[in-house]
Amino acid sequence: MPLDLLTRLEEWKTRYGAPDTGALRRLLSAASTRRFRDAASLIRLHECLLFLRAYPPSEEVMRLADGMLSSFARRTAAATDPSAFEDPTVSGISGTSLAAVFSYEVARQLASRYPRSIEIDWENYEHPEKLGPVLRRFLPLLGEDWPVEAHVPYREWMDAARPRNSSHLGWLLEQFSRLASTARARADLYESLDLLLVWRIGNARTSRSRLRLPVRKPFYHTEPLLRRSDISLVREMAGPPLPVTSLSRTESRKMLDLILDTSAMRYRELYGFTHPDAARVFRADAGRGVQIVFFGVPPEWRLPLRAYHAGMFFKNGVPAGYVEVLSLFERAEVGFNLYYTFREGEAAWLYARLLRLFRQILGVSCISVDPYQVGLENDEALDSGAFWFYRKLGFRPLDPDVARLVDREEARMRQTPGYRSSRRTLEKLARSYVLFECPDVPHGGWDRFRVRNLGLRAAGAHADESACPLGLVLEMIPDLGRWPADERASVEAIVRAKQGPDEARYLRLMQQHARLRAAVIKLGS
């Protein structure tokens, strides 16, 4: 039975360390010739193959999984319900398509690389009325039609204007590129269209099924996968530095394109993936077949106060997830996403290794996690019990009511083996930020701090409008002018470093200024 075959394949995700993988190889061989028509079965097969490709127990299993994934477009072409492949948890499979509203920068890059595969989704675009005020900038006589007619054929207008070898989207983006305005203004105008695009992925190498980084020496999992109970976040954060290399300009451009495509294929647009600093891209070897590619953003796209870094991590060459880090002094707000396919694949170890890297690079030692990450208005996080993932790694809730609820739940867990928090309880637990502090740093200083508080205070302070954003915060420190000259000089160096080549230096200088740290925490608490 096909479904029984899929179930037996999926069971191997929990059987690592088995002395013989012959049964798994025979299952893969059987699956390679079995036909699945419904999308649900095809998705199950695809995700299982991708997991085995990223976490192979042997070279032969890796080869078999890769071969089946490389030809997966032939399977999806025969699916009876292709719309199921557009779900964000599985989108990007070879031979499928997806429809999404992308930002200007992402749309521009995708259209430049895949001009024949991405186009305006005219059949499903729900806001054609938004085209008139924008297209009149490029089609002067549209003013005779758009303001007074009820049903303007915008597609015909674009057909009349575009070259025959250009798509509607390609022509439109070309017009935007000619506008005499800033990059931000062009982006705002394009994004006002809410333009729905359809991306026909086909059998492209950038599909989830086929995308790989070159791997010199794959890591084969011949022992059971690491569990959360095997991981000590304290030990990991104190571990030796990871090997880090800087990518060349050519390597960086290829990698950034790949990362943007990978994220867009999953309906995700991370700020740093859209506006990366292409001059400074790094790769870290995290061990166990994991590579982390990370970077910041260039000065023109930096946040006013926090340093911004983002990265994607690859398991045996397969994109496995991403991370986003927003840092101020030694405090970092970390967003971590291990793609749904790999949730059973050493998530705690991966997270701990990422935190070790960013402590190494940025000097951060206090890790804050937003309520959304643990389940606030986030069904996926609630379903996975994300709060307990962080709690069992040593994070503590900052809200006193949530802390008391945690004590109650942990007491129940000790009394009743196998006890699990109800969904309603998980929703209550998700109302608080959670925090992890390394043992070698002072605890509690950041408990009441929110960066938004700084912005709200600055908004009502009637500060000097000519000041830089960081300067607005400095103006709110009442005794700054009376600080010793060397401390004021250090503050000036911090302000300059914010627009320097690397925001890591900005953070390191901040971490050396105890007086400024105390003043900023007080303002934001």
Q: pLDDT tens digit string along 5-64?
A: 999 999 999 999 988 899 999 999 999 999 998 999 999 999 999 999 999 999 999 999
pLDDT for 81: 87
DSSP state for residue 120 in the 8-state scheme: E
Q: Check pLDDT > 90 for residue 319.
A: yes
pLDDT for 459: 82
Beta bridge partners of 313: 292, 321
Predicted confidence band at 265 (pLDDT cuts at 50, 70, 90)? very high
Predicted confidence band at 2 (pLDDT cuts at 50, 70, 90)? low
Q: Which residue has the tokens 């054609």?
A: 128
Predicted confidence band at 163 (pLDDT cuts at 50, 70, 90)? very high
Pull the structure tokens for residue 82.
């292709």
Beta bridge partners of 490: none
Instruction: Tell me the C-alpha distance between 237 and 15, whole Å.
Output: 29
Q: Which three-class secondary structure string do you get for 128-193? A: HHHHHHHHCCCCHHHHHCCCCCCCCCHHHHHHHHCCCCCCHHHHHHHHHHCCCCCHHHHHHHHHCC
CATH code reported for the domain at 2-85: 1.20.930
Taking only the tens place, the pLDDT of each residue in 112-161 is: 999 999 999 999 999 999 999 999 999 989 989 988 888 899 999 999 99
Q: Mean per-residue pLDDT for 207-219?
A: 95
Task: Choose the weakest-confidence range: 148-152, 421-425, 465-469.
Answer: 465-469
Taking only the tens place, the pLDDT of each residue in 62-84 is: 999 999 999 999 999 988 888 99
Span(s) in the chain for CATH 1.20.930 = 2-85
DSSP one-letter string for 413-436? HHHSTT----HHHHHHHTTS-EEE
pLDDT for 464: 58
Please report, rounded to a whole number, the percentage of residues in the chain having pLDDT higher than 70.
Answer: 98
Residue ranges in 114-153 assigned as alpha helix (H): 131-135
Instruction: Tell me the C-alpha distance between 491 and 455, whole Å.
Output: 19
Please report, rounded to a whole number, the percentage of residues in the chain having pLDDT higher than 90.
Answer: 89
Pull the structure tokens for residue 218.
């794959």
Task: Choose the weakest-confidence range: 45-54, 147-156, 173-182, 321-330.
Answer: 147-156
Main-chain phi, psi angles of 316, to 5 degrees: 50, 40
Q: Mean per-residue pLDDT for 311-337?
A: 97
Residue ranges in 12-79 assigned as alpha helix (H): 22-33, 39-54, 59-70, 72-76
Instruction: Tell me the C-alpha distance between 290 and 313, whole Å.
Output: 7
The secondary structure element, H or E, covering residue 335 is: strand 331-338
Q: Is 296 helix (H, G, I), strand (E, B) or coil?
A: strand
Predicted confidence band at 387 (pLDDT cuts at 50, 70, 90)? very high
Report yes or no: 454 and 303 within 8 Å, Cβ to Cβ. no
pLDDT for 78: 87
